[in-house]
Amino acid sequence: MRRFAGAMARRWGLAGHTCESLALVVTELVTNAVRHSGSPVVTLRLSSGEGTLRAEVHDIGRWRHAPVPAQGPGDGYPRCGRGLALVRAHTTRTVARLTTTGTTMLAEFATPPDDAHAPPPPRTGLVTTPRRPHDPLV
């Protein structure tokens, strides 16, 4: 999904830093959905228009509490548990919607006027993949 997100952003003509931020955010959100929801399916929806790039990751699972993050070897920093902080640092808005049918994480990026060399809307990308235990997350 990371490659798909980066490819869509490049196809829409967005700047390199926006493509990289989108790929990172998608990776974090999809990883969280796979690790914490138990959902057999994770869906990614991308859209761009009116100065905003949106990434939505939806699962149909039930969120489980994560264990306390393990410390990294000798550095005192956790090896996990920083994903949503990274998402917030790269986006202009992050929203979590928890419902009885699953969770949707919305991440929005402001795209400056010089970043919008894309064809006119509607522009969306949608990928739904069943999760298999042996699939890589990226």
- pLDDT (tens digit, 9 = 90+) per residue, 86-103? 899 999 999 999 888 899
Identify the CATH homologous superfamily for domain 2-64+74-130: Histidine kinase-like ATPase, C-terminal domain (3.30.565.10)
Per-residue model confidence (pLDDT) at position 115? 55
128: left (phi over 0), alpha (psi -120 to 50) or beta: beta
Minimal CA–CA distance to 38: which of 72, 5, 65?
65
Angle between helices 2-11 and 16-37 (to 10 degrees): 150
Q: Read off the tokens for 69.
A: 């993050």
The average pLDDT across 13-27 equals: 91
- Which of 14-18, 111-115, 133-137 comes out lowest in average pLDDT? 133-137
Extents of the domains making up the chain: 2-64+74-130
- pLDDT (tens digit, 9 = 90+) per residue, 66-78? 565 555 565 555 5
Per-residue model confidence (pLDDT) at position 137? 47
Per-residue model confidence (pLDDT) at position 85? 86
**Helix and strand totals (H; E) in the chain:** 3, 5
Per-residue model confidence (pLDDT) at position 120? 42
Question: What's the CA gap between 23 and 36, in Å, rounded?
Answer: 20
Q: Read off the tokens for 107.
A: 């991440």
* 122 band by pLDDT with thresholds 50, 70 and 90: very low
